[in-house]
Structure 1
Amino acid sequence: MDDELLTIGVFAARARLSAKALRLYDRLGLLRPAQVDEASGYRYYRADQVERARLVALLRQLDMPLARVAEVVEAPDGAMAAERLAAYWADVEARVAGQRTLAEYLRERLSGRSSEMYGKFEVETVDVPERVLITETRHVLAGELPAWIGASLGRLEEGARECGGITAAPFVVYHSDVSMESDGPAESCVPVADEAAARAWVERQGRARDTKVRVEPAHRLAYTRIAKAQVAHPQILAAFEAVEEWIPKQGLWQAGPCREVYFADWDTAGAEDPVCDVAFPVR
């Protein structure tokens, strides 16, 4: 019976799908007809394709993107298909958890309780001397940001060995907004000891990854220190906004783009351990 050819109408009824959906799955390569009549263009399916058709439809009810649907249905065995589904659902739950936290944050703002949130952050200033930086700049969206920060700072810290060593905590400067719609750019920076060696190192890198050397003038930073758990979005937004609110109250002005300064080992830090300063240059 599995070799029986079914018209698209009969197959759609058995699979509990519309003919329109079957045509879409065919066009996307998710479920090809067993046979297409060259003269009439009629599609025919085998009875043993019903299970795949129902699986595709169920996966789509999870709002699974078509590319990931293909990964599941093309898995070599059921165990691998189940693993791919589990990985997708873990991503969904992580995204929903982030959205839930963002909704709570926005509810606090909309209800006029922003001051209570900002009061949780202690803001101070620190004077930073002139220093030589090796940097890497990239246009990056929010979803790509954590992986890029880790990779770019890793490359720069390795390069710093040829530039006299690292002289201060690495940091990332946001020259423009980084979100799901805006791609910055962001600039990873590592302070180094030897400017001449740094320029020679950058010259050897060529134009790869937009690596540069720049000398950052002495400046003052207004900052608040946050724990590892607060680095996640949107908690970190409240930290940035707390510093922004504090600056004019002290008779100061923002003198440059915001930054995150990483002074602790992320891998060994606990959720409540301080790991990062959220900062703005001020004058």
Structure 2
Amino acid sequence: MTATVPIGEFSRLTYLTIKTLRYYHEIELLEPVAIDPGSGYRFYSTAQVDQAHLIKRLRELNMPLPEIKAVVAAPDQAARDAAIRAHLERMEAELVRTRDVVASLQALLLPSTGISVEYRSIASYPVLSMRSEVAREDCDVWCDHSFGTLYGTLAAADLAPAGPAGATYAAEFFEYDRGEVVTFVPIEPRHRDRFDPATVLDLPARRFAIALHAGPFTEFDRTYGALGSHVAEHDTALAEPVRELYLVGPGDAEPADYRTEVCWPIGRL
């Protein structure tokens, strides 16, 4: 059995203010079951209490109102649960990101131990590659896709990589949050004819200032900052993309165990 109660009583039943209930009515999120034609006073059913509680909790989880409307209007329990579950997964991912940022901030408070820089000349070598203009926010997904494609192509040819995979990022990627990204996996020179020539690239010979980045990519900016500053202060950088080599990366280990060589080009051989 249900009953109809005025907006003030419904506010007490749901812990939602009258102002909030009026707003939810305006945006058609939680509408009263009846409105007095003379006074315009709103009335709600006690059957709406659970729905109001659901809306309140979703708002406490920072779910956007359009998504809450979709949850409330879901055709069945399964669809409603799927929408809530998707939001919870996004929140969990955000919590992980927040923990990473907190850890990074705490590290910034510690005295700097400096950076170890190695100088190395690397000869030209062929790689199987993919390139695309990529937005920074889409980079992780695109890199996962491209490396999966490259390793899949090698496996189909019954070949193993001839060295660590890597990537380069155009200056525009950093300057405008969108630019060309080239991912690559080294191949033996004798095998280059086994692949589509459009996918085979010869990385140019270069002399690099190199720093090892240990750990997840959330701290990558600090390695770039330290190595780039060292090069600016002691060498002359070439106006071309920095080369990253993934000695241990995604798919090989947990983020804490990643090992990436950041190679800053400073001259030709």
TM-score, with structure 2 as normaliser: 0.72
Within-5 A mapping of 1:172-211? 172-176=167-171, 182-192=177-187, 193=189, 194-199=191-196, 202=198
CA contact (8 A) 1:264 1:275 kept: yes
2:235–2:266 CA contact under 8 A, matched in 1: no
- What do the CA deviations read for 1:55-88 (whole angstroms, capped 9, x no partner)? 3123313323346646776583899898667545
Cα distance, 1:25 vs. partner?
Answer: 4.0
In 1, are the aligned partners of 2:134 and 2:142 still within 8 Å (CA)? no
| 1:232 is the counterpart of 2:214 | no
CA distance in 2, matches of 1:167, 1:20: 66
- Aligned ranges 1:35-54 → 2 under 5 Å: 45-54=44-53
Q: What does residue 155 of structure 1 align with? A: 149
Of 146, 162, 165, the residue aligned with 1:170 is 165
* Structure 2 match to 1:123: 117
Which of 221, 226, 243 does residue 227 from structure 2 map onto?
A: 243
User: 1:28 & 1:260 partners in 2: Cα distance?
Assistant: 50
* Structure 1 unaligned regions, length at least 5: 203-211
SS of the equivalent of 2:132 reads strand
Preserved CA contact (<8 Å) 2:237 2:264: no
Equivalent residue number for residue 21 of structure 1: 20
Shift of 1:252: 3.3
| CA deviation profile, 1:123-182 (whole Å, cap 9, x unmatched) | 11222222334213242334x433332222111222245679533321121214668x82
**Pairwise CA RMSD:** 4.1
Change beyond 3 A, Cα 1:80–1:270: closer
Q: How many residues align?
A: 259
TM-fit CA distance, 1:225: 1.8
| Partner SS for 1:252 | coil
Structure 2: state its 5+ residue gaps: none
Contact 1:170 1:261 in 2 (8 A): yes
- Whether 1:132 aligns to 2:126 is yes
* 1:222 matches 2:209: yes
* Match runs of 1:83-94 below 5 Å: 87-94=89-96
Alignment identity in percent?
23
Partner letter of residue 150 of structure 2?
L
Q: Does the CA-based 8 Å contact 1:240-1:279 persist in structure 2?
A: no
TM-score w.r.t. length of structure 1:
0.69
Is the alpha carbon distance of 1:158 and 1:46 closer, same or farther for their aligned partners in structure 2, counting shifts above 3 Å?
A: same
TM-superposed deviation, 1:49: 1.0
Cα deviation, 1:182-232, whole Å, max 9, x if unaligned, reads: 2344332233345554335x5xxxxxxxxx5543321122221233xx223
Q: Quick one: which amino acid aligns to residue 149 of structure 1?
A: C
Q: 1:137 to 1:10 in 2, by over 3 A?
A: same
Amino acid at match of 1:98: D
**C-alpha separation between the residues in 2 aligned to 1:189 and 1:29?**
51
Change (3 A) 1:164 1:86: closer
Asked if the contact 1:125–1:221 (Cα under 8 Å) also holds between the matched residues in 2, the reply is yes
Q: 1:253 aligns with which of 237, 245, 254?
A: 237
Residues 216 and 237 (structure 1), Cα distance of their counterparts in 2 relative to 1, 3 Å cut: same
User: Aligned pair 1:96/2:98, yes or no?
Assistant: yes
Tell me the residue number matched to 1:207: none
